[in-house]
A and B are shown apart, each in its own frame.
Chain A
Amino acid sequence: MNPKYEAVIGLEVHAQLLTESKIFCSCSTKFGNEPNSNTCPVCLGHPGVLPVLNKKVVEFTVLMGLATNCKINQQSIFARKNYFYPDLPKGYQISQYEEPICEHGFIEVNPKNGSSKKIGITRIHMEEDAGKSIHDQSSATLVDVNRCGVPLMEIVSEPDIRTSEEAYLYLNNIKKIVQYLGICDGNMEEGSLRCDANISVRLKGENKFGVKTEIKNMNSFRNVERAIDYEINRQIDLIEEGEVIVQQTLLWDADANEAYPMRSKEEANDYRYFPDPDLLPVIVDDEWKTEISKSLPELPETKYKRFISDFSLPVYDAEILTQTKSLADYYESVISITDDYKTASNWVISEVLAVVNEKKIDISDFPITAVNLGKLINLIKVGTISGKIAKEVFALMLQDNSDPEQIVKDKNLVQISDTSEIESIIQKIIESNQAQVQEYLGGKEKVFGFFVGQVMKETRGKANPKLVNEILRKMLR
Chain B
Amino acid sequence: MTFYKNHKEKLELLQSGKLNLVDNVNHFLKNIEDQKDLNAFNFVFEEETIKSAKAVEQKIKNNTAGKLAGMVIAIKDVLAYKDHPLTCSSNILKNFTSLYTATAVQKLIDEDAIIIGKTNCDEFAMGSSNENSAFGNVLNPVNKTRVPGGSSGGSAVSVAANLCDVSLGTDTGGSIRQPAAFCGVYGLKPTYGRVSRYGLTAFASSFDTIGPFAKSVEDAALVMEVISGKDENDSTSVKKEIPNYLSSLSKSKKFKIGIPKEYFAEGLDEEIRDAILDIVDELKLEGYEVKDVSLPMTEYTIATYYILTTAEASSNLARFDGARYGFRAADYKNLNEMYLNSRTQGFGKEVKRRIMLGTYVLSSGYYDAYYRKAQKVRRLIKEDFDKVFSEVDLLITPTTPTVAFKIGEKSDDPLQMYLSDIYTTSANLAGIPGISIPIGKNSENLPIGLQILSPQFEEEKIFLLSIHIQNEITK
Query: Which residues does A use to contact B, with CB under 8 Å?
Result: 41, 44-53, 80, 82, 84, 86, 89-92, 141, 143, 270, 272-274, 277-280
Contacts of A278 in B (CB 8 A): 202, 205, 235-236
What are the 7 closest A-B residue pairs judged by CB atoms, nearest first?
Answer: A91-B318, A277-B206, A272-B362, A277-B205, A47-B201, A48-B199, A86-B323
- Known A-B contacts: A41-B99, A48-B78. Give 10 more (CB < 8 A): A45-B324, A46-B100, A48-B79, A52-B234, A53-B235, A86-B323, A86-B324, A273-B362, A277-B312, A279-B236
Question: Quick check: A47 and B235 within 8 Å, CB to CB?
Answer: no
Does residue B57 face the partner (Cβ distance < 8 Å to A)?
no
A84-B339, A86-B335 in contact; A47/B86 too (CB < 8 A)? yes
Interface Cβ pair total, 8 Å cutoff: 103
The 8 Å CB contact of B311, one of A41, A141, A274, is: A274
26 A-B pairs in the complex with CB atoms less than 8 angstroms apart: A41-B99, A44-B324, A45-B324, A47-B98, A48-B102, A48-B198, A48-B202, A52-B235, A82-B315, A82-B318, A82-B362, A84-B321, A84-B339, A86-B323, A89-B324, A90-B318, A91-B315, A91-B317, A92-B318, A272-B314, A272-B362, A274-B312, A274-B371, A277-B204, A277-B205, A277-B206
Does residue B93 face the partner (Cβ distance < 8 Å to A)?
yes
Does residue B62 face the partner (Cβ distance < 8 Å to A)?
no
In the bound assembly, the distance between CA atoms of A39 and B86 in angstroms comes to 20
Does residue B197 face the partner (Cβ distance < 8 Å to A)?
yes
In the bound assembly, the distance between CA atoms of A45 and B317 in angstroms comes to 11
Question: Quick check: A41 and B319 within 8 Å, CB to CB?
Answer: no
Question: Quick check: B364 and A270 within 8 Å, CB to CB?
Answer: yes
Does residue B80 face the partner (Cβ distance < 8 Å to A)?
yes
For B360, the closest partner residue in chain A by CB is A272
In the bound assembly, the distance between CA atoms of A90 and B198 in angstroms comes to 15
Does residue B88 face the partner (Cβ distance < 8 Å to A)?
yes
Does residue B4 face the partner (Cβ distance < 8 Å to A)?
no
- Shortest distance from the beta carbon of A98 to any chain B beta carbon, whole Å: 10
- Shortest distance from the beta carbon of A238 to any chain B beta carbon, whole Å: 28
- Shortest distance from the beta carbon of B201 to any chain A beta carbon, whole Å: 4
Question: Quick check: B319 and A91 within 8 Å, CB to CB?
Answer: yes
In the bound assembly, the distance between CA atoms of A252 and B178 in angstroms comes to 57
Contacts of A274 in B (CB 8 A): 311-312, 315, 362, 367, 371
Does residue B418 face the partner (Cβ distance < 8 Å to A)?
no
Contacts of B199 in A (CB 8 A): 48-49
Contacts of B325 in A (CB 8 A): 46
For B202, the closest partner residue in chain A by CB is A48
- Shortest distance from the beta carbon of A264 to any chain B beta carbon, whole Å: 14
In the bound assembly, the distance between CA atoms of A273 and B359 in angstroms comes to 11
In the bound assembly, the distance between CA atoms of A391 and B339 in angstroms comes to 66
In the bound assembly, the distance between CA atoms of A45 and B323 in angstroms comes to 12
For A280, the closest partner residue in chain B by CB is B235
A91-B319, A274-B362 in contact; A49/B198 too (CB < 8 A)? yes
**B102, B200, B204, B323: most-surrounded residue (chain A CB, <10 A):** B323
Question: Quick check: B202 and A279 within 8 Å, CB to CB?
Answer: no
- Shortest distance from the beta carbon of B72 to any chain A beta carbon, whole Å: 23
Question: Quick check: B324 and A80 within 8 Å, CB to CB?
Answer: no
The 8 Å CB contact of A47, one of B96, B232, B321, is: B96
For B231, the closest partner residue in chain A by CB is A50
A48-B202, A92-B315, A272-B315 in contact; A41/B235 too (CB < 8 A)? no
Does residue B233 face the partner (Cβ distance < 8 Å to A)?
yes
For A276, the closest partner residue in chain B by CB is B205
A82-B362, A86-B335 in contact; A41/B100 too (CB < 8 A)? yes
Question: Quick check: B235 and A84 within 8 Å, CB to CB?
Answer: no
- Shortest distance from the beta carbon of B318 to any chain A beta carbon, whole Å: 2
Contacts of A90 in B (CB 8 A): 318-319
Contacts of A47 in B (CB 8 A): 78, 80, 86, 88, 93, 96, 98, 201-202, 319-320
Contacts of B200 in A (CB 8 A): 48
Question: Which residues of chain B (180-216) have a CB below 8 Å from chain A?
Answer: 197-202, 204-206
Contacts of A46 in B (CB 8 A): 80, 98-100, 325
In the bound assembly, the distance between CA atoms of A44 and B78 in angstroms comes to 18
